[in-house]
Chain A
Amino acid sequence: MLFWIEKISLVVLVFCVTLVIAMYATLAERKFAAFFQDRIGPDRAGPFGLLQPLADGIKFFFKEEFIPANADRFLFVLGPCLSMIAACMTTAVIPWGHDIVIFGQTMALQIADLNVGVLYLAGVVSLGVYGIMIGGWASNNKYSVLSAIRASSQMISYELAMGLALIALVMHTGSLSLREIVQAQHGGHWNVFFQPLGFLLFLICSFAEANRVPFDLAECETELVGGYHTEYSSMKLGFYLFAEYINMFIASAVMSALYFGGYHFPGLYHIGLSDNSAALVGVGVFFLKIAAFMFFFIWIRWTLPRFRYDQLMRLGWKILLPLAIANMIFTGFLSLLLG
């Protein structure tokens, strides 16, 4: 019973935190975009525009819900739902912090410690494309279908390099459980120092999987109107846009956990905190790392132009994939020689 209460409260908490962070990521994006373009950005709703995401949400709910006449109604609704579900599912395996002891009960700050956690990540990422594909096809719009096709071929191309980068990481740490991977990085042994190329590959592929600039060809507005969500309005459009920010948050969390030590920071055990407060500080540090990565996502979006489609495919298949294979072979040889 206690187990279920613990897990359910953790699920609800993680879900709420994810949504709130995704909400404020939209504000952060607009504020930073304004900064990079020497503007002021949204500042009308609340102090410093802090209520802007709420205003956006209310607006989404009150917009007319429109389904095109020749659209497949069921799939049209299913598309944004799948996008949202796939985006939220990844949070289940991310270790947010050390165990916390409350009233003599040890509580793990991770929803599920799967022994195949890394593979679960890869699996959920590969499902993320269905929302875009189904929504794009169901809209019965040429631009949307083109976007859906672009999105799926892009996802498949970059998944390969991402998977191979993950395999090299797993060879280095010797575990598929995210919790064990994070724990192996304590004391400054962050994986990014041992797998620099792997991290770079993973970072690039995360941009592609999250459909962010410079890889946002699926919603390239200069060519495809709005891409897969051209026909969407109201909260269904909101779901698609929201899923993008959740994906960005999750990608940042995964990168911090896999390569940047997760909730560890140098000197964690030397400042003399009690276990519980050290764990809480660790959670804070983890979120700082996530925030840094999210800033990086935003920074790239407002400074780099978009790829052309053939450039995107060439980068994926002719540069990233061979590099990932070389990285994997090199890691294998090294761990044979040293291990």
Chain B
Amino acid sequence: MVTLFLVLSLLTVLSALCVVFTRNLIYSVLSLIVCFFAIAGHYVLLKASFLAVIQVIVYAGAIMVLFLFMLMLMNLNKKAEASKPFSLKVVAVGVCLLVLVALVSIVFLSAPRVCFAPLAPVSGSVSALGPLLFNEYAIPFELTSILFLSAVAGVVMIGSYGKKAKKQ
């Protein structure tokens, strides 16, 4: 269990670093996929099999396919890479450091409440999640679905706007 956790953590961190440091965008996307798989592995270790499978379907299976799709269409290479001004780089590093501080402080401030022990196998199953989502967390769940619906509507609007402009 512990060795599995260590191997998965190593894989997660290494692939995440690879995403940032590799120059080739396709490799970057592929290492992000590896990273998502490692995170799904962590979910399996925590007995949250539903979450693990959803992680693979949604992130590795759908979103990253779209990413790869886009990169292939754009056909980026090293020559086409735009060089950014130095000031922009400084700002980017600063923002990233702020996000890092925020994330680390969340972990340390909420330490007593985070549970690292594997939960009972039932808690991560669909039959346990369903009632929880539709009873206790019904309102946040419905709000999220409205958010998604508005995103879909936005996409349709942007898509049809382009079509109209072309016709005129």
Residues in A lying within 8 Å of B, measured CB to CB: 72, 75, 114-116, 119-120, 122-123, 126-127, 129-130, 133-134, 137, 145, 148-149, 152-153, 155-156, 159, 176
Contacts and interface: CB of A to CB of B under 8 A. Distances in A.
A137 B65 CA distance: 13
A248 B62 CA distance: 22
Contacts, number: 63
Contact of B73 (A120, A127, A149, A176): A149
Contacts of B56: 123, 126-127
B68 interface: yes
Given A127-B60, A145-B72, A156 B53 contact: no
30 contacts: A72-B26, A75-B26, A114-B49, A116-B49, A116-B50, A116-B53, A119-B53, A119-B57, A120-B53, A122-B57, A122-B61, A123-B61, A126-B56, A126-B57, A126-B60, A126-B61, A126-B65, A129-B65, A130-B33, A133-B65, A133-B69, A133-B72, A134-B30, A145-B75, A148-B72, A152-B65, A153-B69, A155-B65, A156-B66, A159-B61
A214 B65 CA distance: 23
A123 B53 contact: yes
Q: Is the interface of A mostly helix, strand, loop or mixed?
A: helix
A120 B50 CA distance: 9
Contacts of B66: 156
Contacts of B60: 123, 126-127
A176 B26 contact: no
A149 B72 contact: yes
A218 B66 CA distance: 17
Contacts of B151: none
Pairs of residues from A and B, 6 with the lowest C-beta to C-beta distance, nearest first? A126-B61, A119-B53, A123-B56, A123-B57, A152-B69, A116-B53
